Amino acid sequence: MQKSQKTTTHFGFSEVETTKKQGLVDDVFHSVAPRYDLMNDLMSLGIHRLWKRQAIFLADVRQGQRILDVAGGTGDLTQAFAKKIGTEGQIVLCDINESMIQEGRQRLENQGLFNIEYVIANAQNLPFPDNHFDTITIGFGLRNVTNKSAALQSMHRVLKPGGKLLILEFSTPHPALKPLYDTYNFNILPKIGQWVAKDAKSYQYLAESIAKHPNQLALQQLMAQAGFEDSEYINLSFGIVAIHTGYKY
């Protein structure tokens, strides 16, 4: 009897069995969770705060809405949305990694925010009803998902008709910038990880995951295939980061 072939996918620049990728990604985020916010500031020279501010503006969250922040991690986007939706609204911070959820919960509760629900779940199989959320966001998380198409389809399912998906993610920068950008990602970023977090390997993976992520047009096509319409993107910092939006009708 012929054995079935194992499927593989990328983990950074490595090829791994598809079933093993999530565990490897979990190990990375268990490792980086305690210093995740500090590393974001160091890696981006604080510019990630401006990127997120623009994403929050474009999400256009309103009072009383129901919001899902997928791969919400330590809760930068969730924090802003929790203040905007008011007591009549609902926000869920969802992440597959328990360490990141714990960091986020402690941080947000320390700021006096208690109107947030915390859910540990895989973006590929979100445990929510159909047509449930007004807005879904995912910030710097999609590139770590094993099956991006499945995650987009799952988010489309739980989004209300007329609802918006917003994706904030590293993307493909302008060609003139790419050599310098790659030098930073592959030579400097792991050294910062080793210096601050004593973990060069995890930050090497994060750099590689950026390089393997679909470019702006490819991600726009994946969104369309998942059912999202009127999808658009804007580049920030010459395309180092892009914000994608799409709607469910």
pLDDT of residue 37: 80
Beta bridge partners of 159: 133
DSSP 3-state of 126: coil
In this prediction, residue 5 carries a pLDDT of: 61
Per-residue model confidence (pLDDT) at position 2 = 52
**Res 195: pLDDT:** 85
Give 133's strand partners.
159
* Fold (topology level) of 34-171+213-247: Rossmann fold (3.40.50)
Q: Enumerate residues 6+ apart whose C-beta is below 8 A from 2.
A: none
Question: Which stretches in the chain have pLDDT values below 50?
Answer: none
Q: What is the pTM of this model?
A: 0.92
- Helix-helix angle 36-44:18-32, to 10 degrees: 90
Helix, strand, coil percentages for the chain (3-state, nearest 5):
50, 25, 25
User: What residue type is assigned to position 163 of the chain?
Assistant: G
Q: Could you tell me what percent of the chain has a pLDDT over 70?
A: 98
Q: Given this model, what pLDDT does residue 12 score?
A: 83
User: What's the pLDDT score for residue 237?
Assistant: 96
Q: Could you give the C-alpha distances from 153 to 39, 226, 241, in angstroms and in order?
A: 31, 5, 22
Position 174, amino acid? H
pLDDT at site 121? 96
Cα 21 from Cα 38, distance rounded (Å): 26
For the chain, domain boundaries: 34-171+213-247
Euclidean distance between CA atoms 126 and 94, whole angstroms: 9
Q: Say what the pLDDT of residue 3 is.
A: 53
